[in-house]
Amino acid sequence: MREKPREENFQKEGTKTLEGEDSFERKRTNFFSKIALHTKDALKMHKRAGLWEKKEGRRDWGNVSEHCLVVVARAMVLAEKLNLSEDIKKDIAMAAALHDFFKKGQKEVVTAGGLTWDSFEAASKESARQVQEAGFDERIVRLVNSTGAEDSIQDVENVLKQKKLSEEDAASLILHYVDDYTIGSDWANPVESLSDGRQINDLDRRVDKNISNQRYAILNEEGKKHFHGQTLYDAQRRVGHLNEERLVDLINEKGGQLINPKDLPYLIDQEIKAKIEAQN
């Protein structure tokens, strides 16, 4: 996870701040290296899919692997808060590490077929086929498929209608939610109050970013055929916040915490930072 260094803090605290930042970065690297080791079978799929190939000395797609490891860390915080079993936690971690392994292949599919619903759906099916072919079990395949806006929103909405959730259902909500709001590998930003009175968090920021990208305009409009007149990204925002609220309700039930749903992304990252700092 990255964040831009604040120059004013360097000016106020000088070398001490720089040394502290350097120590934290070493611990952060160690923290995510351990996650990579625990999910190495998933990361082999990244390599096989060409994400680590170098062009002019650098990995063009290396940021995808960083993003996946961030999703693992965030999903595990939520899994712990919901007291999920160790067995399901392992599958959550593996699915989170896998979920974007086909990103390069997806680009090739949608470039050939156009940035349309059918193209993204075809890429998703190919991704699922490769995960199955690699020998991952059906639960991991389902959890991988619970990420991504185009083909999982309806499934998540159906899960949210259930009064009682299985561990696998809860895991699917976790993975969909974390992928919904994770922007690259950056730290989550705090909730922001806008002049019109609305509060937005990183889920809103990611949706707004997609809406502003004209490359996705056709895909966004095609969502109206699938979401009762709502565009894809309007549906993503609506269901994303419903999911957010359900997860907070489950956390409150398990641990008695009182959390503002919009604060959840930022609070998750505060816990990850605490875990990083606690390392020797």
Does residue 250 lie in a domain region?
A: yes
Please state the domain count of the chain: 1
Does residue 19 lie in a domain region?
A: yes
Per-residue pLDDT tens for 158-179? Answer: 999 999 999 999 999 999 999 9
List the one residue out of 63, 232, 50, 45 whose CA is nearest residue 129. 45
Per-residue pLDDT tens for 87-111? Answer: 999 999 999 999 999 999 999 999 9
Does residue 7 lie in a domain region?
A: no
As to burial, measured by CB atoms within 10 angstroms (0-12 exposed, 13-18 middle, 19+ buried), residue 72 is buried
Q: Yes or no: say if 90 and 193 are a contact pair by the CB < 8 Å rule.
A: no
List the one residue out of 179, 181, 161, 163 whose CA is nearest residue 171. 179
Does residue 174 lie in a domain region?
A: yes
pLDDT value, residue 138: 96
pTM of the shown model: 0.91
Per-residue pLDDT tens for 129-162? Answer: 999 999 999 999 999 999 986 779 999 999 999 9
Does residue 240 lie in a domain region?
A: yes
Expressed as residue numbers, the domain containing 208 is: 15-277
| Radius of gyration of the chain measured on its C-alpha atoms | 19
Per-residue pLDDT tens for 213-243? Answer: 999 999 999 999 999 999 999 999 999 999 9
